[in-house]
Amino acid sequence: MTIEPAAEVLILEAAEPAERRVGLRGEGAILGTVSVAGFLLLWQTSVAMGWIAPLFVSSPARILVTGFGMFRDGSIYPDLAVSGEEFILGFGLAALAGIPLGILMGWYYRLNAVLDPFVNALYATPRIALMPLIIIWFGVDLSAKIAIIFLSSVFPVLVSTMTGVRTIDRDFIRVARSFGATDRQLFRTVALPSSVPNLLTGLRLGLGHALIGIVVGEMYGASAGIGFMMQTAGATFQTDKVMVGIALIAAAGMAMTRLLKALEKRFDAWRPDHHL
């Protein structure tokens, strides 16, 4: 059987001692840093040599200078505050709704049978297609942005949590039953812990959708926010500001994804397949 390079690295990490695994991770970090630095250097050189017009893609140096200027004069802070508030409320509501509902749908077959068609239909519907209805229902104020962020991120959280509950190791259930565990005890001590790794995966997936929802919502109708700033700058051909907005969204997404990945790795041993 042919082993792909990525899979081969995973096998080596599992077979080698801790020092070897740390070395592989360090090598990966170095390669990633070098590749990013090389890309930025090539980008800057292409603009400086006139191969690419800065009007279309700006340049790393121009983006850095523009971003520093926006932070220095304070013009970026109101947009960051608005987008941050929208993200916290929208993504927070998605987690508060998606996690309990996913657990219940994964645990109760009849509830899943009733709600599954609606979940599948809404999950498959592009969120941008719902924007006209959201604007009609909520207007163009903060509640509309929260609604689109909520709808963008709730379904990955719900589906991943439901999958986690439905993939519980049956041996755990049999052992708990043999010790006389009630349905409530089984749910609290087996179902909930087993769903945690998939739950965190769902939050990580929902995070990316939430960030997309911020930009989409603010581009449709807003007076502040990172998406609004990007749209306004794009309409006036201020490519530097557009790229600053993209960099801020990407940086926020990378930081929060890294945090969730760390939590996911911490609870990875709780996955059912680790006990088979």
CA-to-CA dists, residue 160 to 43, 93, 154, angstroms? 38, 16, 10
pLDDT digits (tens, 9 = 90+) for 69-111: 889 988 889 989 988 998 999 999 999 999 889 888 888 888 8
pLDDT digits (tens, 9 = 90+) for 14-24: 445 555 555 65
Helix %, strand %, coil % for the chain, to 5? 85, 0, 15
Give the pTM. 0.77
CA–CA separation, 8 and 91 (whole Å): 36
Q: Which two tokens stand for residue 24?
A: 């592989």
Instruction: Pick 67-275's CATH classification: 2.60.120.260, 2.30.30.60, 1.10.3720.10, 1.10.230.10.
Output: 1.10.3720.10
- 264 against 51, higher pLDDT: 51
- Whether residue 12 is predicted with pLDDT greater than 50 in this model: the reply is no
